Amino acid sequence: MEPDMPTPGDITLNRRDLMVVAGACAALPATTGPTRAQPAPRGEPVTAAVSLRVNGEQRSLSVDTRTTLLDLLREQLKLTGTKKGCDHGQCGACTVIVDGQRINSCLTLAIMNQGAEVTTIEGLGSVDALHPMQAAFVKHDGFQCGYCTPGQICSGVAVLDEIKAGIPSHVTTDLTAAPAVTELEIRERMSGNICRCGAYSNIVEAMTDVAGRRA
């Protein structure tokens, strides 16, 4: 005859015994076998041939397909005037002009600019022959630490071209008339270029000066 099974009332466990049993059960999965970190998968980077015209010079090279235009300019072409700031397209320090339009070079891959015409701060002017925008920034003290200045100048040149082409902005009130070079237009269009030193008013003066000379 089989013995009777104990009822819950027949089992007496104090709190300490219960904690010991629970701890032993919790440790079982961790002791069933060795645990080893899995190695990360590795492979050769995928490269592609890129050909583009930079500051008037044709450049052809092989790049990792993950390379941004910013890193191509700085690391491979050694054009370090274009600065890496936030690397998220929020500060504008990496602004360059591609096919006549200003872009954040950290947000575009090099292979996406096949055959493009790229102008960096080095291509706008030199120490002996400053671009009018560069000269105006010096004249009006449009920079302090200077880190954001290459992006500011490239963006400033493109902004005046945008206004000249009649492209409206968020603050353009009359879409049937050509936008004017006003302080409001300049501040709105340049809002994507951050200056931690706060030289904004001087930058507006520099751009207004250049716009007046163009007119």
Q: For tokens 């008037």, name the residue.
A: 56
Confidence of residue 18 (pLDDT cuts 50, 70, 90): low
What is this structure's pTM?
0.79
Assess whether pLDDT exceeds 70 at residue 26.
no
pLDDT of 43 reads 76
Cβ burial of 182 (10 Å; 0-12, 13-18, 19+) is middle
168-213: pLDDT as tens digits: 999 999 999 999 999 999 999 999 999 999 999 999 999 999 999 8
The whole-number average pLDDT for the span 99-119 is 98
Give the span between the Cα atoms of 70 and 105, in whole angstroms: 5
